[in-house]
Amino acid sequence: MLGGIGEAFSEYIRAGSPAIMLSLTALAALLWYGLGIRMLLLRRGSESSVRVLIRRHEEGRGSRRGVLGEAIARAIALRDSGKTPLRAHLDDAFADLRLGLKRYRAMVNAAVVTAPLLGLLGTVTGMIETFHSLGDMSLFAQSGGIAGGIATALFTTQLGLAVAIPGYFAKSVLDRRQARLEMDLVQIQDILAASAKGNGS
């Protein structure tokens, strides 16, 4: 079965411009690697509200799982240590967490933008071959002539869009998750800074 899939894939690659089709395949692998890593990095840890998670940690029932679990554990430890001003210390404590939320985002964005452009390059390559065949009047050239040029154009365009469209939607979901986590981190800072002032710290 794997041999059949590999053979079908090879035929598909040969149907378009091989260099561009292979580049798009490598780009797709890079894109989904980046999306997978981002999915792991953007784990919230729990769907409960920030206030509920803070209360659990204060009661000793919290865990450091996910971004919020780690952030709350760090924030409570800083508050209980009496460090002031707490908000400035929390900014420092959350710096690496905020940086982690952005990891691989630029790579994913670049891959999503580049895929249709590579497909367009294949389209142009195929159309050049088509017009070259028309200029030579070689409607049935060995390389495929007009039909071969159009096929090259369509296959590369198809693969470029097939890489970019699902990648764009997956990227959008993860970008929204990142924005939510960034807001949650700000809320943790607000709540714990206010509680530290209330305790006279």
Ordered by start, the domain boundaries in the chain are 19-198
In sign, the C-alpha dihedral spanning 80, 82, 87, 91 is negative
Q: Which two tokens stand for residue 178?
A: 């990142």
Q: How far apart are CA 79 and CA 48, in angstroms?
A: 22
Confirm if 11 and 143 have CB atoms less than 8 A apart.
no
**Number of H-type helices and E-type strands within the chain:** 7, 0
pLDDT for 34 beyond 80: yes
Q: What is the pLDDT of residue 76?
A: 93
Average pLDDT value over all residues in the chain: 85
pLDDT for 1 beyond 70: no
Q: How far apart are CA 130 and CA 124, in angstroms?
A: 10
Burial of 71 (0-12, 13-18, 19+ CB in 10 A): buried
Q: What is the pLDDT of residue 121?
A: 87
Confirm if 55 and 35 have CB atoms less than 8 A apart.
no
Whole-model pTM?
0.81
